[in-house]
Amino acid sequence: MKEPVPLAMQEFDLAQLAAAAFAARGITKGLWHVAMKLQFAGLTADWADGGGGVTGAIPTGMIGVVGVALLPVTEPGPLVFDAAAFQAPNAKAGPQRPPRKARAE
């Protein structure tokens, strides 16, 4: 029986995100660049000085991740993953090592 996932923060690296996105879209081959869709917002915020007083309103920016995008590419590079590397049978997310050769006796 599978162990339940603990109710705590779950962190994923980009290779794990790529593997999940490939699986969700049925992508099994090709080089893919993983990109983030970002949302930007500008606002004015009151900032306090160290003594508990307000120093005044200053412009502030916020950035949020609203999605993950996969872009097909033709050459390896930063944030590029080969979908075929994630297709090992009975594999967990991520590229797999080649099988070990049997020892000669």
18-31 tens-digit pLDDT: 999 999 999 999 99
Mean pLDDT of the chain: 82
Let me know if residue 3 belongs to a domain: no
Let me know if residue 98 belongs to a domain: no
Let me know if residue 40 belongs to a domain: yes
Percent of the chain at pLDDT > 90 equals 49
Domain extent at residue 73: 14-86
Three-class SS of residue 100?
A: coil
Q: Show the tokens assigned to 84.
A: 């075929």
Quote the pTM value: 0.60
Q: Does residue 96 register a pLDDT over 50? A: no
30-58 tens-digit pLDDT: 999 999 999 999 988 877 766 666 677 88
Confidence of residue 88 (pLDDT cuts 50, 70, 90): low
Let me know if residue 32 belongs to a domain: yes
Neighbours of 20 (CB within 10 A): 14
Neighbours of 81 (CB within 10 A): 25
Let me know if residue 61 belongs to a domain: yes
Q: How many domains does the chain have?
A: 1
66 close to 39: Cβ distance less than 8 angstroms = yes
